[in-house]
Amino acid sequence: MNEILGTNHKVSKIDIPEIQSLNLDEVIIHKAKDAFAKIKKPVLVEDISLEIKALNGLPATFVKFFLEKLGTEGTVELIGKSKTDTTVTAAVAIYDGRNLKILKGSVQGTLSPKNRGEHGFGFDKVFIPKGYSKTYAQMPPSLKNKISHRALALKKVKNYLTS
């Protein structure tokens, strides 16, 4: 996060139970309010949605659970021979106890049937952004940090905070 934002903020990983919803806004709002209630300071939280067209938008916000149970290749296998058109969205919420702002970044792409690459985490080994032939995991982190859904959302955060 700091690398993308060009900052040196303290990043804490706190365990916040997520509500079960396919709606990314609902998930991120709940997460922001819970994080603020827990630490009593302004927070910036994020969440991801991976929407596979052939699965009618699933796994969406449940991507973490799909990856835990099926792995990346198992999730892709659910599609069979269908098109693998996919949209990945990062939502970032900033909340100070009164004001809530949600900023998002989305990237269109496709899914590789096999894991490719060594960098990254989650679905990075199978997600190929539109206009590229490599998965996020095959890209140097410096490139991924410029073009990813997370980078797009965090650029909006930076613009919002400096305006």
Tens of pLDDT, residues 109-140 = 999 999 999 998 899 999 999 999 999 999 99
- What are the pLDDT digits (tens) for 43-88? 999 999 999 999 999 999 999 999 999 999 999 999 987 889 999 9
Query: What pLDDT sits at residue 83?
Result: 85
Number of domains in the chain: 1
Cis peptide bond upstream of 59, omega within 30: yes
Which residue type sits at 61?
T
In the chain, the percentage of residues whose pLDDT exceeds 70 is 93
Note the pTM of the prediction, 2 decimals.
0.91
Pair 79, 94: CB distance under 8 Å? no
Range of the domain at 29: 2-162
Lowest mean pLDDT among 18-22, 86-90, 92-96: 18-22
Determine phi and psi for 41, rounding to 5 degrees: -140, 160
- What pLDDT score does 81 carry? 78
CATH of the domain at 97: 3.90.950.10
Q: In what order do the strands lie in the sheet with 86-95?
A: 59-60, 43-52, 86-95, 100-111, 127-129
